[in-house]
Amino acid sequence: MNSRERIQAALKFAKPDKVPIFDIVSGDLMPLPLIHSKNWKPGWNEGEEVLFPHVRGAYNWDRPDWAKEKPEYQGNNWRKIQHEEIDEFGCIWNMKGNDQDMGHPGRPSLPNWEDFEDYIAMYKPDASEESRYKPALQLRNMMDKDRYFTLLFNCFGPSQVVAAMRGFNTYLIDHRRYPDELKRAFQVVADYHVDLMRYSKKYGIKADGIWLVDDLGEQKGPFFSARTFEKFYEDSYRTIIDGAHDLGLDVHLHCCGKIDPLLEPLIKWGLDAIELDSPRMSGYNDLKPYRGKIFFWACVNIQSIYTQGTPEEVEREVWHMIRNLGTPNGGFGAYFYSTPRDIRAPRKNIRAFRQGLKRFGTYEEIPDHWWNAPISEEWEDNKVPPLPS
């Protein structure tokens, strides 16, 4: 199978030859990043003084006057000092300086719901701007045509965007105090995602799926109950998922946290795949009911084994992921954390992840009895059980 056939077979539980891999260097899946509009002018609006553009990597910034005045702002010097940044949705980010990570959501950019109309008029991004799509189109045309391509949006999903607008604690309270306003804001974000998909197709980007990023949980569980999730998020999530499917695109969702209680509604709404950086946070036993019902992308658990385990443990864990998240007919894909330096993953463990896939990732080479071998009733995050006999 080529990469596209392999992922499509794994998504449909149609017996792929191997476990598909999401590794930007050499994997089966290639994300196509959509970027900011060339017409975006961060720092220019009233109230945006000393707000820098929230962009990773090189960026040719059309600077407002305040950014031209001080020597410490010249070139990329401003990235080296503690500062605030603003993204296209008007959300504000705290940056420590001298770091390469994406920062953290800062002070609320929409503290009052009565300002929502004016806020969205100023900050809802324009999906029609063709400049957003040129790098993705160039990358698509450069790459092997048999790879599986996903659109990677330049913003997060409904929950994360609106939480950043409102401030996280206020956003949680909004579920009780301002339900209508909250759902309205979710819908604005969802509609923008669909617009990005449509314009991607219009401008000639041939993709197979979308890669949606929306964290919905913390260490012990989701931010809200499954009942609340269905009540508040069904419309916006169905808008994105149905919009993608109408365009022939699969939907892959990255989601941090212990979010297994939310999988049932997500599956019901048509989600094709979920990606977990730390699958043991949800737990193999709690994910078991959804095995065979949704495709799991997963990394070797980044909170313990990938970062703190031995290479031998990492290699063995690859089998336990295949066994506990996938089936003999597919349903599992290996995800290599895209910025391993951020989590200090040892290179030897990254190599061990790849070695584990070579050893266990070809389906016809997996002994049949391994699929029925007893599995642990309890899992300790930092311990990896032995292989089946």
Q: What is the pLDDT of residue 99?
A: 62
Res. 69 pLDDT band, cuts 50 70 90: confident
Tell me the average pLDDT across 203-218.
Answer: 97
In angstroms, the CA 4 to CA 28 distance is 7
- Considering the domain architecture, whether residues 108 and 132 belong to the same structural domain is answered as no
Which tokens is 117 given?
């109309």
> Which one has a higher pLDDT value, 72 or 16?
16
pLDDT for residue 22 is more than 80: yes
Tell me how many domains the chain contains.
2
Is residue 346 pLDDT above 70, yes or no? yes
DSSP lists the bridge partners of residue 276 as 298
Q: Please report whether residue 387 resides in a domain.
A: no
Residue 327, pLDDT > 80, answer: yes
For residues 315-338, average pLDDT: 97
The sheet with strand 51-53 has its strands ordered as: 51-53, 83-86, 92-95, 104-105
Q: How many other CB atoms are there within 10 angstroms of residue 98's CB atom? A: 9
Query: Do 31 and 47 fall within a single domain?
Result: no
Model pLDDT for residues 211-227, shown as the tens digit of each residue: 999 999 999 999 999 99
Rounded to two decimals, the pTM is 0.96
Residue that is written with structure tokens 């695109």 in the block: 249
Q: What is the mean pLDDT of residues 48-65?
A: 90
Q: Judge if 231 and 156 occupy the same domain.
A: yes
pLDDT tens per residue, range 153-195? 999 999 999 999 999 999 999 999 999 999 999 999 999 999 9
pLDDT value of position 100:
65
Residues 309 and 185 in one domain: yes
Higher per-residue confidence, 101 vs 230:
230
Angle between the 116-123 and 179-202 helix axes, to the nearest 10 degrees?
20
Regarding whether 302 and 254 lie in a shared domain, the answer is: yes
Q: What mean pLDDT, rounded, does the chain reach?
A: 95
Residues 118 and 129 in one domain: no
243-254 tens-digit pLDDT = 999 999 999 999
Task: For 110-230, list the strands marked E by DSSP.
Answer: 148-152, 209-213
Taking residues 302-306, what's their average pLDDT?
Answer: 97
Rounded to whole angstroms, the Cα distance separating 263 from 114 reads 34
The predicted pLDDT at position 125 comes to 96
Decide if 100 contacts 65 (C-beta within 8 A): no
Q: Give mean pLDDT, residues 285-310.
A: 97
Kindly state whether residues 210 and 254 are assigned to the same domain. Answer: yes
CA 369 from centre of chain: 35
Question: CA-CA distance, 239 to 223, in Å (whole number)?
Answer: 21
What is the sign of the dihedral through the CA atoms of 355, 359, 360 and 363? positive
Q: Is 382 among the domain residues?
A: no
User: Which residue range(s) make up the domain with 117?
Assistant: 43-87+90-123
Question: Which of the four pLDDT bands, split at 50, 70 and 90, describes residue 19?
Answer: very high
**Are 34 and 47 within one domain?**
no
pLDDT at 70: 87
Give the pLDDT confidence score for residue 165 in this predicted structure.
98
Indicate if 72 and 170 belong to the same structural domain. no
In angstroms, rounded to a whole number, what is the distance separating the alpha carbons of residues 360 and 353?
11
* Judgement on whether residues 232 and 353 belong to the same structural domain of the protein: yes
Percent of the chain with pLDDT over 90: 89
The reply to whether 388 falls in a domain is: no
The pLDDT score that the predictor gives to residue 75 is: 86
- Among the ranges given (86-100, 227-241, 274-288), the one the predictor scored with the smallest mean pLDDT: 86-100
Give the pLDDT confidence score for residue 59 in this predicted structure.
Answer: 84
Q: pLDDT (tens digit, 9 = 90+) per residue, 125-144?
A: 999 999 999 999 999 999 98
Regarding predicted confidence, which is higher, 59 or 84? 84
Helix, strand or coil for residue 71? helix
Q: What is the pLDDT of residue 282?
A: 96
Does the pLDDT at position 31 exceed 70? yes
Q: Are residues 294 and 171 in the same domain?
A: yes
User: Of 71, 102, 123, which residue sits at a domain end?
Assistant: 123
Task: Scan for tokens 């790098």, then name that residue.
Answer: 135
CATH number (domain holding residue 148): 3.20.20.210
**Residue 106 placed within a domain:** yes
Are 72 and 167 contained in the same domain?
no
User: What tokens were used for 168?
Assistant: 């996280």
Q: Does position 10 have pLDDT exceeding 80, yes or no? A: yes
